[in-house]
Amino acid sequence: MKKTLLYLALVSLPCWWACRQLPAEDHDVTQVEIVSVADAIDSTAPEGGLALLKQNCYVCHNPAAPSHDEIVAPPLVAAKWRYSQSYSERAAFIENMTAYVHQPAADKALMRGPVRRFGVMPPTTLSEDTIRSIVTYIYDNELEAPDWFAGHFEEEHGASWKQ
């Protein structure tokens, strides 16, 4: 985490400094329409859900995390497993996970251990429809698990991991 923050500071500081040094000039301004990447992705297609997941969720829930000690949030396979324990039906799973991600709160969290370790998930700027598309993808597809996850799951739950 410290390395990440240091890296971000080292990359951001020169950019910020360079932008401050630009002379004020009159420029012709062209109006452009800003379209978010989330709006440009077809979230109804499975690959659209995966693209949204990678773009928005893997920042914190990265399955490539080298170890349990180097993560900033629980792996999505863990969240999927926990939600499926409480909400086995597709509609209930999607509705409840979407509601939590849309408005995270400690009293609505199903994963008490990760909340104690990492805190409550920060609010997102994603629309509820985009979140629902991502959660639908999570429910309908197998997710990539970190290499260390099966051992961690067995240690925590006393059972073998299977998705």
Model confidence pLDDT, tens digit, residues 84-121: 999 999 999 999 999 999 999 999 999 998 899 899 99
Structure tokens at 21: 């040094």
pTM: 0.68
Query: Average of pLDDT values for 23-33?
Result: 49
Share of the chain above pLDDT 90, in %: 46
What domains lie within the chain, and their CATH numbers?
43-157 (1.10.760)
Q: Which two tokens stand for residue 153?
A: 């799951």
CA-to-CA distance for 140 and 46, rounded, in angstroms? 9
How high is the mean pLDDT of the chain?
79
Cβ neighbors of 134 (< 8 A, separation 6 or more) are 43, 49, 52, 53, 56, 57, 101, 126
* Chain Cα centroid distance, residue 17: 30
In angstroms, the CA 66 to CA 109 distance is 25
